[in-house]
Structure formats: structure tokens, C-alpha cells
Amino acid sequence: MENTPKKFPDPIRTPPKPQSVNTASFTKDAASINLPDIDHASALLTNQATKPDEIIEGILHAGTKAVLASASKVGKTWILLYMAAAIASGKNFWKFKTRKRKVLFINFEIRREFIADRLKVIQSQLEGEDLSQLHVWNLRGITADFEVLVKTIIERARKEGYALIIIDPIYKAMVGKSENTASSVGAMCNQIEQIVEATGAAVIFAHHYAKGSAAKKNQIDRMSGSGVFARDADSIITLTQHAEKDCYSVEMTLRNLAPQSAFVAEWKYPVMVERPDLSASDFESDEPDADEYEPLVSLLDESPLTTGEWLEAAVEIGYSRASFFRDKDYLVKQNRVQTNTEKTWTRNQSETCETLIPEQVRINNKSQVSN
């Protein structure tokens, strides 16, 4: 009988002592912030605060945040300029009444001369209305960090008493940052929040759709980049390509106001005009079925991402950790993405249009030709 080594019990390990927390630093930080009192529900029910004015009736309150989103080159700047001019002159914006208020339009994209041309056309559309309540801050080519600009925006907005501040487009305020990561977009949204809280003005900005078929996504999921863009806004206005040429389905998600029915607007230079004869649910549908992997690949179009950054961006658009790694592995096998020496991922630039079309669609197309 062989001698078996005698087993000794594992030594008893002393549990680690809990780390001490410096509550003094927390107390100091909290004391430095002007925090409001905690409300009793009974007080909220009996002493209701006065609601801020609706700058655009049924769509936008003062002191709130909004986003206008669509595919590229739909005319977001024209729409926002028309909105600014309508509010500055007290005229309707589309079919919605406005309160005449002072407006600041922050232009990051278009040369000053061309903004002037557009304003002349819009003023003519408004039958020569006085636009002295509309101010335009032309910042095309200015490379200052948005965090620095925020301080100046607050100072000027307080001095002038702007009720609405329009930022066109928002991606110009994110130079050097990724719109795909929640941390970058969250920081930018926090800066906009600072403007809103410090001035009482509403802030609306222009943003673009992600690639792919927008009509097949939920309205708030059509925007490019992090889902924080949609979650943070109080009012979301989207324009999605309609089946009718030059027409768009206008949909709204409103946090603080009653729902608005979707409607169709047609581009009639220089404005969008409502088309009550068209159904807002009749989206453009002449494109092939969307490639289910394209949303994940398109996250790499703005800039290369590490695996961790790509995962974070994917989670923001609805992927689980497991589905991300499963689909990533498939994309690697299909040679649709590639990694480099810096351990970041990019779209494989050798990808062809055929690669982007799902296999079943290609089979169907080939069978139609052979028949």
C-alpha cells in the first residue's frame, strides 16, 4: 500500500481590511456645489413651479435641449436658419406657433458670405420681416476647444438675453473627440447643459444619421454615434427620406410635451413645406435589405478604435458584449475589418459594394438575372 502524502488544511487568510474613505473630501466637494433642497412630493403637488415658456409651441421649452437630425445634405442648416428667423420675428415655424424671442445662431460650417445670402432668401420668404432679434456668430475655421467657447457663449448669452441658441453642426464642437464613445458625447452634452442652466436659453443642435437604412431603425436610434445624443435631448426632431422625391417624414420624440403626430415635409427652396396628402409612414424602400453587420463596421468610419473603444461604441447602439465579439469575429473572417500595429481597428478599405450587400440579396438578384 502506497503512502499518500498527508493533506494539510489551507492556511486561514485574514480578510482584507476595508479601505478607509476620506469623507472629509466628499463633504468639501459637496459644500462647494450649490445643491438644491430635497423636495417633498406634497410640496411639489401643492406649490407647482411655473413652467418655462414654449418657444416653439408643442415642441420646445426655454431652458431645454433639442436635436435636429437627418441624413447628410437634407438641408438642416436651412431648416435651423428658418427656425431662428421665425422665432426672431414671431412667425410660425412650419405649422407651429412661436414666441418672438432673441436668437443666437452659432455657425461652425458655412462661410459668412453664404450665411448672409441664405438669410436674405429666408427674410424674403418671411415677407421682409425684421430680423434684428437674430444674431449670428460665424466661427467657421475657429479651432478653439468647445469647453473654452462655452464660457464665452454663456457670457454673451447672459448679456444679450438669448432665449434660443442654435449650434450648427454639433460635430464641429467635438474636434479631436469621438462621437461614438459615451464619455466624449456625455462631456459635450454636459457642456451644453451648462449653457442651458447658466442662461435659461434653449439649445438645439444639428446632427447627422448613421449610415444604412434609417427607416428600418427606431426614430431615436437613427443618429450617428453614441446613444447619449438621443438620451440626453428633451426634444428630438428627425427627417427621414420619404418615398416621394424631395419629401421627408418628420417625427418627434418629446420628453416634456404631449406627443406630436408625424407628418411629411417637402423641400421647396428655401424652406420645407408640409404635405398633408402624404403618409409619414411611407418611407423610401427601393434599397436592398440593410446589411446587419454594417452598423458595427460603420463605427470605425470616423476614426480607428481599440477593441475596448469599439466595444463601448457598440454597446451604445444596442450590442451586448457577447454579440459584439461574435460579430467582430465574423467580420474578421470575412476580411471586412483589419487591425494595425497600433492595435486599433479600421474598415478594410478593399471592401467592395458587393461585400456590403447581404448574401441572400445577391443570390436573389442572380436568380432573377438567370431567369
Domain definitions of the chain by residue range: 54-274, 294-370
* Residue 351 confidence (pLDDT): 60
Question: Which residues, 6+ apart, have CB-to-CB distance to 67 below 8 Å?
Answer: 170, 204, 205, 206, 207, 223, 229, 230, 233, 235, 236, 237
- Whether pTM > 0.85 for this model: the answer is no
Q: Report percent pLDDT > 70 for the chain.
A: 84
Distance (Å, rounded) from C-alpha 84 to C-alpha 16? Answer: 61
The secondary structure of 160-193 as a DSSP string is HT-SEEEEE-GGGGGTTS-TTSHHHHHHHHHHHH
Please check the confidence at residue 323 and state whether its pLDDT lies above 70: yes
Highest mean pLDDT (candidates 167-176, 206-215, 324-333): 324-333
User: What are the tens digits of pLDDT across the range 83-93?
Assistant: 999 999 999 99
Q: Which of the four pLDDT bands, split at 50, 70 and 90, describes residue 285?
A: low
* Residue 184 confidence (pLDDT): 87
Q: Which of the four pLDDT bands, split at 50, 70 and 90, describes residue 96?
A: very high
**Burial class (CB within 10 angstroms; exposed 0-12, middle 13-18, buried 19+) of 17:** exposed
Please check the confidence at residue 365 and state whether its pLDDT lies above 50: no
Q: Domain 54-274, CATH 3.60.15.10 — does that match?
A: no
* Residue 29 confidence (pLDDT): 59
User: What's the Cα-to-Cα distance from 264 to each of 12, 207, 230, 345, rounded to whole Å?
Assistant: 72, 20, 22, 40
Nearest Cα residue to 215 out of 322, 163, 266, 287: 287
Nearest Cα residue to 159 out of 198, 189, 205, 204: 198
Mean pLDDT score of the chain, rounded to an integer? 85
Distance (Å, rounded) from C-alpha 264 to C-alpha 272? Answer: 9
Please check the confidence at residue 5 and state whether its pLDDT lies above 60: no
User: What are the tens digits of pLDDT across the range 36-67?
Assistant: 899 899 888 888 788 999 999 999 999 999 99
Main-chain phi, psi angles of 292, to 5 degrees = -65, -20
Distance (Å, rounded) from C-alpha 115 to C-alpha 80? Answer: 12
Nearest Cα residue to 60 out of 312, 252, 230, 264: 252
Query: Residues 270, 273, 276, CA angle at the centre, nearest 5°?
Result: 170
286: left (phi > 0), else alpha (psi -120 to 50), else beta? Answer: alpha
Q: Find the mean pLDDT for residues 332-343.
A: 89
DSSP state of 219: G
Cα dihedral 233→210→243→274 (10° resolution): 30
Query: Which CATH number is correct for 294-370, 2.120.10, 2.60.40, 1.10.10, 1.10.3470?
Result: 1.10.10
Location of C-alpha cell 438669448: 162
User: What are the tens digits of pLDDT across the range 115-164?
Assistant: 999 999 999 999 999 999 999 999 998 877 888 899 999 999 999 999 99
Q: Which of the four pLDDT bands, split at 50, 70 and 90, describes residue 370?
A: very low
User: Between 182-199 and 146-160, two packed helices, what is the crossing angle to 10 degrees?
Assistant: 20
Question: Which residues, 6+ apart, have CB-to-CB distance to 29 below 8 Å?
Answer: none
- Comparing 28-32, 67-71, 151-155, the range with the smallest average pLDDT is 28-32
